[in-house]
């Protein structure tokens, strides 16, 4: 599958006719909402875990030297914490463009802190997209991130902002925090 997923995502009609839809963010969407939203709330999804296995050719890297950004992969029993945004369907065009580098919309149950859940959507990058970089050790991922820069800035900035956002939410993510620790060691601090 091409890493440009805009047209594929436009064809998803699951939420047609709704006035608003919950969107779950687990990466930069936790801390960077560059779109209007009706409501923003901490939330989680079950059965998925965050991994820095997706390449970024358009934001945190280039086609010649992609960065590494977060996706989610299935893991039984896992809980992935993040931020949910209630948006109108008009925002999908912007979101589809923002997430065009291999991410597809997926309908999912989003759980809110007060034990309430609603069906919404999440963008995921699966192993069959052309930008997928795949599994690596946290040290290898940190070394990759330390060297990558794209139009949206250094790849390290993405990782550090995500780690800080997770701390502010009060959630520990071993994968993210281990990569962050390696990155700080590589940078001498």
- Active site (catalytic) residues: 99
Residues 6+ apart with CB under 8 A from 94: 34, 35
Residues 6+ apart with CB under 8 A from 89: 15, 16, 18, 19, 20, 21
46 burial (CB, 10 Å; 0-12 / 13-18 / 19+) is: middle
* Contact (CB, 8 A) for 163 and 157: no
E-state strands within 57-157: 67-87, 103-112, 117-125, 149-150, 153-154
Instruction: Please name the residue that has the structure tokens 């919950």.
Output: 22
């Amino acid at each position: 599958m091409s890493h440009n997923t805009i047209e594929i995502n436009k064809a998803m009609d699951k939420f047609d006719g709704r006035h608003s839809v919950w969107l779950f963010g687990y990466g930069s969407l936790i801390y960077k909402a560059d779109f209007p939203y009706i409501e923003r709330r901490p939330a989680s999804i079950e059965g998925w875990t965050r991994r820095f296995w997706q390449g970024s050719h358009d934001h945190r890297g280039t086609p010649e030297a992609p960065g590494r950004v977060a996706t989610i992969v299935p893991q039984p029993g896992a809980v992935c914490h993040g931020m949910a945004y209630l948006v109108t369907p008009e925002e999908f065009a912007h979101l589809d463009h923002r997430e065009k580098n291999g991410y597809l919309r997926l309908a999912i149950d989003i759980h809110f802190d007060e034990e309430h859940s609603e069906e919404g959507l999440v963008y995921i990058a699966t192993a069959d997209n052309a930008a997928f970089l795949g599994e690596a050790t946290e040290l290898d991922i940190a070394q990759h991130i330390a060297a990558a820069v794209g139009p949206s800035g250094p790849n390290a900035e993405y990782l550090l902002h995500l780690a800080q956002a997770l701390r502010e939410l009060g959630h520990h993510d071993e994968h993210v925090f281990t990569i962050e620790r390696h990155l700080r060691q590589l940078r001498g601090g």
